[in-house]
Amino acid sequence: MNSDKVNDLTLMAYADGALDAAEAARVAQMVAADPILAQRLAGFTGTRDALAALRRKDDDNIPLPTDLQAKLRAQINAAAEAKAAAPANLLPFARKSRGLAPFWSGALAASLALAVGLGAGYFMASQPAGSDNLALAAALDRAPSGSEEHLADGTVVRLVSSFYNAQGAFCREYERRQPTGAQTIEVACDAGTGWQMQLMLAFNDTEGYAPAAAPELLDLYFTQSAAGAPLSVAQEQSALATRGR
Amino acid sequence: MPNLYRYGLRLSRRPDIAEDLVQITVERALGARDTLDAATRLEPWLIRILRNAYIDMTRRNKTRGTEIDIFDAPDAATVDGARVTENALMLDATERALQDLPEDQRSVLLLVCYQEMSYADTADILGIPKGTVMSRLARARAALAEKLGIN
């Protein structure tokens, strides 16, 4: 009889998977050999199961109020704007700022050319081949981050992230590989008047996508522009859903 | 977010209050986000904020007598019939037993077994030692098991 050698708290922790492997194995062995202990254990697993069943019922029966998401989004955006307006706190920012040093590093200079300066913001429509830009804009409106879009002209657009900038405009970071082989990392924002390019980094890498040093330049841009943190999958989904209209 | 809302509903038992609680939580979380360091995990932190908001609310609001309790109302939604009949009795009994528990035991039970928080997270959320979480939880489950006839 081992019943007295395992106290309730240990048994409960075992039922909850909170013991380390060695301890759990020891308890499992004793439970297997002792019906009384097994019955005490059932009290703990049974109550856990009962509460889990209650949770599943709640999940089935309780719809999240549909307008709650929208209210929260408005709340978050309002806070982001208030934050941007307060000069003392200009970096509400999830990415690490790495400072200026990487910008001037030799490796980076060799592999990257900064095509457009920070915040230069020229219209996509001013780029060559206007119809491609419609396709690109459509991809930015629609495609979730992490996906690839193949445009009609052979351009591949790989969406990286979405965020709101300090002015509250919806922005997307993406990589673009044109049929000519030209590759760029770009950030475009839409403040309600169409997509506007904020940043373009050109790089010549025949293999994959962004060179390792590119994130440092992007960090610099994000920091300087006081961009908001990247949106979660759900936040992005709801942002893209409203753009589809 | 659904997790937070569900927890708010379990605490307050009213959808409108649960919704308010989630909004208050987001507001406070936004206000306090600068104090959040990288090591803090979001969910327990948000749950603690929501729980505190609920406590604030009930302190201010002592007139809860006539409110409709959502969990006592008949289910408006129709769900899978077989599963409902199979579990309905057990769920009702669990529901009632939960309400009969002392508040300190119920909080711990809800956080660990319903919200699936770890003992350590629960201790943080409630601001009590982990040992206290475990002893309250064991007592709560002994009482619950007895009412449900599982021991």
Q: Which residues in chain B have Cβ-Cβ distances shorter than 8 Å to A42?
A: 150-151
pLDDT at residue number A148 = 87
B55 or A94: which carries more pLDDT confidence? Answer: B55
Using the beta-carbon criterion (under 8 Å), do A72 and B151 form an inter-chain contact?
A: no
Q: Which residue of B has its CA nearest to A79?
A: B30
* B96 Cβ neighbours under 8 A, 6+ residues apart: B147
Which tens digits make up the pLDDT trace of A103-119?
Answer: 333 333 333 333 333 33
Chain B closest CA to A61's CA: distance in Å?
6
d(CA B151, CA B96): 18
Q: How far apart are the first and last CA of chain A?
A: 69
Using the beta-carbon criterion (under 8 Å), do B23 and A72 form an inter-chain contact?
A: yes
Determine contact: B5 vs chain A, CB below 8 A: yes
Shortest CA distance to A186 belongs to which of A164, A212, A208, A157?
A157
Contact B112, B132 (CB under 8 A): no
Contact B5, A68 (CB under 8 A): yes
d(CA A159, CA A206): 19
Contact B112, B102 (CB under 8 A): no
d(CA A233, CA A243): 15
Chain B closest CA to A70's CA: distance in Å?
11
Q: Which CATH class is domain B84-151?
A: mainly alpha
Q: Which residue of A has its CA nearest to B26?
A: A72
d(CA B122, CA B128): 8
| Stretch 13-32 of chain B: residues touching chain A, C-beta under 8 Å | 15, 19, 22-23, 26-27, 30-31
Facing A12 at nearest CB: one of B9, B31, B138: B138
Check pLDDT > 50 for residue B129: yes
3-class SS at B149?
A: coil
Report, as an integer, the average pLDDT of B8-23.
85
Chain B closest CA to A23's CA: distance in Å?
17
Contact A46, A75 (CB under 8 A): no
Q: Which residue of B has its CA nearest to A90?
A: B34
B1-72 carries CATH number 2.40.420: no
Facing B144 at nearest CB: one of A47, A60, A234: A47
Determine contact: B135 vs chain A, CB below 8 A: yes
Facing B30 at nearest CB: one of A40, A42, A79: A79
Check pLDDT > 80 for residue A212: no
Q: Which residues in chain B have Cβ-Cβ distances shorter than 8 Å to A51?
A: 94, 109-110, 113-114
The DSSP string of chain A is: --GGGS-HHHHHHHHTT-S-HHHHHHHHHHHHH-HHHHHHHHHHHHHHHHHHHHHHHHHHH-PPPHHHHHHHHHHHHHHHHHHHH-GGG----SSPP--SHHHH-HHHHHHEEE-S-TT--EEGGGSS-HHHHHHHHHHHHHPPTT-EEE-TTS-EEEEEEEEE-TT--EEEEEEEE-TTS-EEEEEEEESSS-EEEEEEEEE--SSSSS-TTHHHHHHHHHHHTTPPPPPPHHHHHHHHHHHT-
Domains in chain B: boundaries: 1-72, 84-151
Using the beta-carbon criterion (under 8 Å), do A51 and B34 form an inter-chain contact?
A: no
Determine contact: A59 vs chain B, CB below 8 A: yes
Q: How far is CA A56 from the centre of its chain?
A: 27
Which tens digits make up the pLDDT trace of A35-60?
Answer: 999 999 999 999 999 999 888 888 87
A219 or A158: which carries more pLDDT confidence? Answer: A158
Residue B71 corresponds to which amino acid? F
Provide the residue count of chain B: 151
Which tens digits make up the pLDDT trace of B31-77?
Answer: 777 777 767 777 888 899 999 899 888 776 654 444 445 555 444 34
Using the beta-carbon criterion (under 8 Å), do B90 and A53 form an inter-chain contact?
A: yes
Contact A186, A174 (CB under 8 A): yes
Using the beta-carbon criterion (under 8 Å), do B23 and A9 form an inter-chain contact?
A: no
Say if pTM beats, i.e. exceeds, 0.95: no
Lowest mean pLDDT among A3-7, A30-34, A96-100, A130-134: A96-100
> Chains A, B: CB contacts under 8 A, how many?
113
Which tens digits make up the pLDDT trace of A130-173?
Answer: 456 788 888 899 898 888 888 888 888 988 888 888 888 898 98
| Stretch 54-113 of chain B: residues touching chain A, C-beta under 8 Å | 75-77, 79, 87, 90-91, 94-95, 98, 109-110, 112-113
A105 is written with which tokens?
A: 């590093």
Q: Are strands A148-150 and A183-190 parallel, antiparallel or unpaired?
A: unpaired
A160 or A100: which carries more pLDDT confidence? Answer: A160
Chain B closest CA to A55's CA: distance in Å?
6
Provide the residue count of chain A: 245
Lowest mean pLDDT among A180-189, B54-63, B133-142: B54-63
Contact A207, A220 (CB under 8 A): no
